Amino acid sequence: MNKMMKKTLKERLAILSDAAKYDASCASSGTTKRDSGASGGLGSTEGSGICHAYAPDGRCISLLKILLTNFCIYDCAFCINRSSSNVERARFTPEEVVWLTLEFYRRNYIEGLFLSSGIIRSSDHTMEEMVRVVRELRVTHNFRGYIHLKSIPEASAKLIEEAGLYADRLSLNIELPTDSGITRLAPEKKPSGIRRSMGDLRLKIEEAGEPTLQTKRRKRFVPAGQSTQMIVGADGASDATILGTSARLYGSYGLRRVYYSAFSPIPDSSKNLPLIKPPLMREHRLYQADWLYRFYGFGIDEITATQEGGMLDLDLDPKLAWALGHREQFPVDINRAAKEMLLRVPGLGTKAVKGILSGRRFRRLRIEDLARLGVSIKKVQAFVTAEGWTPKRLIERPDLRAMFEPKPEQLQLL
Ligand code: SF4
């Protein structure tokens, strides 16, 4: 009996949940609480790979986040599970993952499963095992919880399609923002193959979204869509490059989310990698910029054009940085400005803008009305005019930036 076989289920759960924590696509990314913790054991409601994610309806749900195995035949430099790493290895059978998921679910510890894996034997062999897990859960056990499944790179289209029948979300990691970065740091991965799989999946999702003539019902196929993850800071790509890649991925493959994961030097790391990790704030700023692109009408070029070397300002959120670089466009009259311009005002979120647009149909709004909409007057006052309020020359003050810069105690993430 080899060493791996001697490990108990609990020991393997500890190893394979800990190994899964490096995947950001089901974590509260942008916070410092990234450690899934592996010490809680089977009966614990925390640790043991339980992570939190947002379901498509906006609910925060807890998921069992594990790898099927951390053995891998690939050697991606940034990955703790790469074949040349000395990490302790373990492997579940598909039946064990099914059992664990059902047990955790029945005890109300989790509302779903996030399953990823290293590659054993071949991409198709690994993907077949992953599909077996989700098929068993859905078909044999009528499991109704949420399932996020990682697709294995280079797995056949047929297997990915079958996975899509059972999973709520599928993700394929693009890993790095440039093809040259992938070739250098993840030599076995083929960027064109990853994009092809994303394209195939998009077509299948769109096909399933069309009602058929016979039933008029839409087929259930990856209802929460597809997502991907990019590692930040491992390959020297600037924020402008990263966000440009994200924009292409959103546009070409209809991705629901691109997750950004600040590279962290791993034990026994490859010499091709930097020795220091990027500030976590960089990851946070990328999420903010990504949000501006998807929901606030900003172009990627606009967000990054005024930033030195294509890097986002770590001290200011990107919307505020843009406004300070375009002071000539302010102040904005909240009683007359178009929705698109209101969305560009620092401190006004989509909800507040909606409130302004509906409130001003009945009367002219005062700056105090913004406070009632949950807006910080301190943040917004230099950028707006309202009934009875004009910021005078506040917008021209040379020290305006300093007024918004974080205080030393707020700089922990930098
Ligand atoms: S294929 Fe996945 S698990 Fe294997 S080394 Fe690369 S990133 Fe790690």
Alpha helices in 230-305 (DSSP H): 239-253, 280-295, 300-305
The answer as to whether 163 is a domain residue is yes
Segment among 191-200, 216-225, 318-327, 341-350 with least mean pLDDT: 216-225
Q: Are residues 145 and 270 in the same domain?
A: yes
Structure tokens at 111: 């509302």
Enclosing H/E stretch for 226 = strand 226-232
Query: Using a 6 Å cutoff on CB, does residue 118 contact ligand 1?
Result: yes
- Distances in Å between the Cα of 56 and the Cα atoms of 24, 148, 210, 349 are 17, 11, 19, 20
Q: State pLDDT tens for residues 364-403.
A: 999 999 999 999 999 999 999 999 999 988 888 888 888 8
Q: Are residues 133 and 264 in the same domain?
A: yes
Using alpha carbons, select from 334, 313, 78 the residue that is nearest to residue 181.
Answer: 78
Structure tokens at 41: 């054991």
Alpha carbon 218 to its chain's center: 27
Q: Are residues 392 and 247 in the same domain?
A: no
Using alpha carbons, select from 361, 229, 333 the residue that is nearest to residue 287.
Answer: 229
Instruction: Identify the residue whose C-alpha is closest to ligand 1 atom 5.
Output: 82
Q: Are residues 334 and 273 in the same domain?
A: no
| pLDDT score for 210 | 75
Question: Which domain-ending residue is among 228, 246, 278?
Answer: 278
Q: How many CB atoms lie within 10 A of CB 358?
A: 9
CB 69 within 8 A of CB 117: yes
Pairwise pLDDT comparison (210 vs 287), residue with the higher score: 287
| pLDDT surpasses 50 at 28 | no
Q: For residues 33 and 52, what is the distance between their CA atoms, to the nearest angstrom?
A: 11
Q: Are residues 199 and 326 in the same domain?
A: no
Long-range contacts of 249-253 (CB under 8 A, 24+ apart): 249/174, 249/198, 250/293, 250/294, 252/195, 252/198, 252/199, 252/202, 253/195, 253/198, 253/199, 253/201, 253/202, 253/226
Beta strands in 68-190 (DSSP E): 112-116, 146-150, 169-171
Query: Using a 6 Å cutoff on CB, does residue 244 contact ligand 1?
Result: no
Prediction pTM value: 0.86
Residue 148 is part of a domain; what is its CATH number?
A: 3.20.20.70
Beta strands in 304-365 (DSSP E): 332-333
| pLDDT surpasses 80 at 218 | no
The answer as to whether 312 is a domain residue is no
Q: Are residues 274 and 323 in the same domain?
A: no
| pLDDT surpasses 80 at 409 | no
Q: What is the number of domains present in the chain? A: 2
| pLDDT score for 23 | 77
Q: Are residues 199 and 64 in the same domain?
A: yes
Q: Are residues 375 and 262 in the same domain?
A: no
Q: State pLDDT tens for residues 60-102.
A: 889 999 999 999 999 999 998 999 999 999 999 999 999 999 9
Q: State pLDDT tens for residues 45-57.
A: 344 577 877 776 7
The answer as to whether 112 is a domain residue is yes
Q: Are residues 333 and 250 in the same domain?
A: no
Q: To which residue do tokens 């998807």 refer?
A: 294
Tell me the CA–centroid distance for residue 118 and ligand 1, in Å: 5
| pLDDT surpasses 60 at 1 | no
Question: Which domain-ending residue is among 278, 310, 340?
Answer: 278
Instruction: Identify the residue whose C-alpha is closest to ligand 1 atom 3.
Output: 118
Give the range of the structural domain holding residue 272, as residue numbers without chain letter: 2-278
The answer as to whether 359 is a domain residue is yes
The DSSP 8-state label assigned to residue 52 in this structure reads: E
What SS3 state is found at 112? strand
Of ligand 1's listed atoms, the one at least distance from the Cα of 72 is: 4
Dihedral of CA atoms 97, 98, 100, 106 in degrees, nearest 10, equals 160
Of ligand 1's listed atoms, the one at least distance from the Cα of 67 is: 3
CB 13 within 8 A of CB 100: yes
Q: State pLDDT tens for residues 106-132.
A: 999 999 999 999 999 999 999 999 999
The answer as to whether 225 is a domain residue is yes
Q: Which of 68, 73, 82, 235 to mutate to test the pocket of ligand 1 (most atoms within 8 A of CB)?
A: 82
152: CB partners within 8 A, 6+ apart: 117, 119, 123, 124, 126, 127, 130
The answer as to whether 313 is a domain residue is no
Q: Are residues 271 and 375 in the same domain?
A: no
Q: Are residues 12 and 146 in the same domain?
A: yes
Tell me the CA–centroid distance for residue 72 and ligand 1, in Å: 6
The answer as to whether 262 is a domain residue is yes
Query: Using a 6 Å cutoff on CB, does residue 74 contact ligand 1?
Result: yes
Q: State pLDDT tens for residues 254-279.
A: 999 999 998 887 777 777 888 788 89
| pLDDT surpasses 50 at 30 | no
Query: Using a 6 Å cutoff on CB, does residue 69 contact ligand 1?
Result: no
Q: Are residues 261 and 354 in the same domain?
A: no
The answer as to whether 169 is a domain residue is yes
Q: Residue 119 carries which side chain, given as an amino acid letter?
A: I
